Structure 1
Amino acid sequence: MSTLEVLLIALVCFIIVYALVLRRSHKNLPPGPRSLPIVGNLFDFPGSKHVYKDFLEYREKYGDVVRLSFGPSRDFILVFGHKAIHKGLIEQGNDFKFRPTNLYLINKLFHGKGVLFGNGEIHQKLRKFTLDTLKSFGLGKKILEERIQDEARILADELKSYGGQPRDIRKTLKKAVANIISGIVYGSRFDYGDPDFLLLIKNIEAIFTTIAGHLPENFWPFLAFLPSSKTRLVLDAAGDMAKYARRRIKEHRETFNPKNIRDFVDLYLKAEGQENEEVVNEENMFRDIIDLSIAGTESTATALAWAVLYLMTNPDVQDKCQKEIIENVGSGRAVSRSDKEKLQYLDATIKETLRLASIVPLAVPHTVLKDTQFEGYTIPKDSTIIFHVNSVLTDPNIWKNPDKFQPERFLTEEGKKTKKELFVPFSLGLRSCPGKPLATTELFLFLGNLLQRFTFKIPPGCPTPSVERVHTGLTCQPHPYQVCAVPN
């Protein structure tokens, strides 16, 4: 036996012994499926397009807290149901507020920095600074509303140019949403055919529809080098986005005028030297831009695509939305945020879209920095923890007929809005989605102004399109579909 073979055998034995000792050191672990030696549950759901559904099967068998294993000592904890999720993210929010730092692909993309994947005091200050900066630039103000209304008009003109013919409009919707982020960050929008813009959209899509906390590459980095892995595609996409963002930051520096603040980048530049330099620096500005571009485009655009699909397959709902808009707004002016109280059925339709589509069915991964007691179990230090948001949004014990598209569930019998405590599409707690105010504003203004001008119909002679979710990366996407946007 060669020296190399001896060393390999010794290494394997060491890993097995280490794993067994480590497992014995943790008592009262959550229950879960049996795992294989060394690889754990790595091969339990390869290539699945419904991972969130696969996870729900574990809930039926093991309960609301389930443990999987990836590798000899990598714990992967699933948390289901409103009670357990609320306890983890609200009651024990300080225990679970951290992002994991040991996921290979996610670390290669985000480097443990920025609003999405940063940790600690610097992250808290950066999140606050970012939200304050967005508010000062326009979030919740007339300037942002007018920008969305203008983009909705351009989007409507683009749809009108299709002449009511069958088209897949998902990428067109994505361009409109991406332009809102571009306007906030860079102070300008793209033409829909701009090559830089098309590449940006492609890169955002590649990243958001691929990365996820449960990817095997996160736990076994060598898998990233296999031909079947999309790691190279994702990293190349991130590299392209980085080059573009740094170029735009450089251009802003060259034309910066503190008396003429144009956008998010200018506000960052103005704060340099005035705010905590650990928070306000070019690296954090760059990470902020990447976070806003990725998270602020894909999820909102996907929600719009689902809304169009649900409206065309539920024409009675679409008709009610349009009648409400005509009665309360008319056709002579754009739908505005001030109309929201009068357009309560439209608002309920948007909420029902977010609930049923479950855009991000599994919350962005969390972790704990020490062994933590939770729901009667010990959660080992450095576990990757996934809060299963979809298990709340489609729970039949909470929502009657949860697979039915029914906006009325968000309204009283008198047609007035009613608050649903268990409506959690943006997650909960200290790491809930910071983009919620922007996303909800965009959805209301885009959808309201589109329904004012168009009726979305199934193409003549075509079957009713599928409303089955396809879980890719972080999001649940609809199957490709064709729609006729017929002018009213």
Structure 2
Amino acid sequence: MTALEVFLIAPVVCIILYTFVLRRSPRNLPPGPTPLPVVGNLLDFSGSTPLYKDFLKYKDKYGDIVRLVLGPLQNVILVFGHKAIHKALIEQGNDFKYRPTSLFIIKKLFHGKGITFGNGDAHQKLRKFTLVALKDFGVGKKSLEERIQDEARIVAEELESYGGQPRDIRKTLQRAVANIIAGIIYGTRLDYGDPEFIRLIQNIDTIFTVVSARLPENFFPFLAYLPNSKARTVFNAFDDMSRYARKRIKEHRATFNPDNIRDFVDLYLKAEEHEDEEEVDEENMFRVIVDLFDVGTDTTSTTLAWAILYLMTNPDVQEKCQKEIKENVGSGRAVSLSDKEQLQYLDATIKETLRLACIAPLVPPHTVLEDTQFEGYTIPKESTILFHLNSVLTDPNIWETPEEFHPERFLTEEGKKKEKEFLIPFSIGPRSCLGKHLAMMELFLFLGNMLQRFTFKIPPGCPTPSVERVHTGITCQPHPYHVCVVPN
């Protein structure tokens, strides 16, 4: 058969196979747009509109459960709204708790290992081990609080050195947050000017701004081997982070003393010695480390960047936070976790930032292992399922004026905290973010201590910066902005 014949016949074969697979799909599928042969609905997402906004147009047309077909065979189920998300992740949590293994980039990077994309009993044991380790190394304890306060002082010195001149401070925020993770994992902090540290931050940026449900490489893996493939840049960034983690693990092995556990890596090395901890091996160790660095750095530092942007553009909110800190803490000592009950407005401001910025509008993908009945539909086994948190956090049926920044929605008329069950920025259920307690500690201590010392202002003569969200990858980033950091 000649090359020309192959070229002419191959598309016909693909269409026949595609039609055959569609006919074998279970009945009573969720509604959705009609897919094209081979590419499915993938061409619907080739524009520049943020992906979470692209998905919302289907909610308006088809309802809270929508089926797409991306690529030749991959079912993608979108789930919108608090009712449906709660039912899937809480009431049917055991059905929906798995991560997909069919997406090419996920399979290539994680091999079913680590916390984020592991599955089964091994994942459960690994998650429990990591939660215990985080608790042992300070989450919720004084030792970690002091570490964050120390890092906040270093950030303050860095901000003070700018002399009130307009600067983009997001890299400083990233390095500060990454150092908290570094302290837990490796027992050390890294210098902001360290080339390895800078490269580590760059790699995290690459992963979080490139990886997306719309990447065609997930559904056509051969594209990943083309010279300009975005997937290739992600693989290179991940490999570089993995090499760094393996190097630090090797350094720890050389000085390891089971009677003197210094940090997270040491705890792993000690667990390796026990036969009943077979899921604790170096392969899982470095993937957990990369998971913690990636998620722990990007999400928290991005939330801080959003908080500062909202404070700049809502100076009345910033003034109320500062007044509360001045009255309850003063300037003679650092803001501490023990002040949280007295700093209710600051706490409400953080919650409102988490709600409105919604930095992770789509939960990391889930799947079901068998055809699953849900809300009157059949979810085909091994579908990729995306839960749309933004549809909850900005739902006008839940939140009054949802697109406005209004911390008071989390307070009573007396200024006391008011819990909102619909505030779910860290997701819910068995796969909710295990780092949420650490993130809330960091947000409160970093933001509280910065507001104690500084006021964030729009640079003179500059327009009000945009608060539109940029969603090219995993998280929603603010548009680049400059800020004048002025000492109080």
- TM-score normalised by the chain length of structure 1: 0.97
Q: Cα deviation per residue 1:211-249 (whole Å; 9 max; x = unaligned)? A: 123322111112223454311211111111111111100
2:433 maps to which residue?
433
CA RMSD, 1 decimal? 1.3
1:25-424 equivalences under 5 Å are 25=24, 26-274=26-274, 276-424=276-424
Tell me the distance in 2 between the aligned counterparts of 1:413 and 1:374.
40
Consecutive aligned runs of 4 or more in structure 1 exceeding 6 Å deviation:
none
Partner residue of 1:20? 19
User: In structure 2, how many angstroms separate the alpha carbons of the residues matched to 1:102 and 1:48?
Assistant: 26
- Pairwise CA distance, 1:22: 2.6
Matched residue SS, 2:44: coil
Cα distance in 1 between the residues matched to 2:243 and 2:70: 34
Shift of 1:5: 4.7
Whole-angstrom CA distance in 1 between matches of 2:88 and 2:406: 30
SS in 2 for 1:76: strand
1:155-179 C-alpha deviation (Å, 9 max, x unpaired): 0110000001100001110010000
Report deviation, 1:6: 4.7
Q: Identify the range of structure 1 (204-213 vs 308-317) with the bigger mean alpha-carbon deviation.
A: 204-213
Aligned partners of 1:213 and 1:364 also within 8 Å = no
**Cα separation, 1, equivalents of 2:3 and 2:45:** 33
Partners of 1:175 and 1:485 lie apart in 2 by 18
1:113–1:284 Cα contact (<8 Å) kept:
yes
Aligned length: 487
Q: Which sections of structure 1, spanning at least 5 residues, go unmatched? A: none
Q: C-alpha distance in 2, partners of 1:134/1:478?
A: 29
Deviation, 1:274, is 2.5
Cα deviation, residue 10, structure 1: 5.1
Paired position in structure 2 for 1:467: 467
Using the alignment, how far apart are the partners of 1:8 and 1:121 within structure 2?
46
CA contact (8 A) 2:71 2:216 kept: no
Distance 2:19 2:235 in 1: 35
- Paired letter, 2:345: Y
Following superposition, the deviation at residue 108 of structure 1 comes to: 1.6
Aligned-pair CA distance for 1:276: 2.6
Distance 1:275 1:419, change over 3 A: farther
For 1:312 and 1:275, locate their aligned partners in 2 and report how far apart those are by CA, in whole Å: 54
- Give the Cα separation in 1 of the matches to 2:448 and 2:314: 16
Deviates more, 1:218-227 or 1:323-332: 218-227
Q: Which residue is 2:478 aligned to?
A: 478
Distance (whole Å) between structure 2 residues aligned to residue 257 and residue 225 of structure 1: 44
Residue 412 of structure 1 aligns with an amino acid whose one-letter code is T
Structure 2's unaligned 5+ residue stretches are none
Q: CA deviation at 1:24?
A: 2.5
How far, CA to CA, are the matches of 1:448 and 1:404 in structure 2? 22
Distance across 2 between alignment mates of 1:50 and 1:228: 22
Question: CA 1:302–1:332 in structure 2 vs 1: closer, same or farther (change >3 Å)?
Answer: same
Matched AA of 2:202: K
**Equivalent pair of 2:45/2:214 in contact (CA under 8 Å):** no
Residues 64-117 of structure 1 deviation map (CA, whole Å, 9 limit, x = unaligned): 011111123210110000011111111111111000001111222222210000
What do the CA deviations read for 1:184-233 (whole angstroms, capped 9, x no partner)? 10011111111110000001111112112332211111222345431121
Give the whole-Å Cα distance in 1 for the aligned partners of 2:439 and 2:206. Answer: 21
Task: Map Cα deviations across residues 298-342 of structure 1 (whole Å, 9 max, x no partner).
Answer: 010000000000001000000000000111111110111111111
The whole-number CA distance in structure 2 between the counterparts of 1:484 and 1:333 is 24
Q: How many percent identity over aligned positions? A: 72
The 3 A distance-change label for structure 1 pair 328 and 115 is same
CA contact (8 A) 2:30 2:65 kept: yes
Question: Which segment drifts farther, 203-212 or 2-11?
Answer: 2-11
The CA distance in 1 between the partners of 2:290 and 2:465, in whole Å, is 34
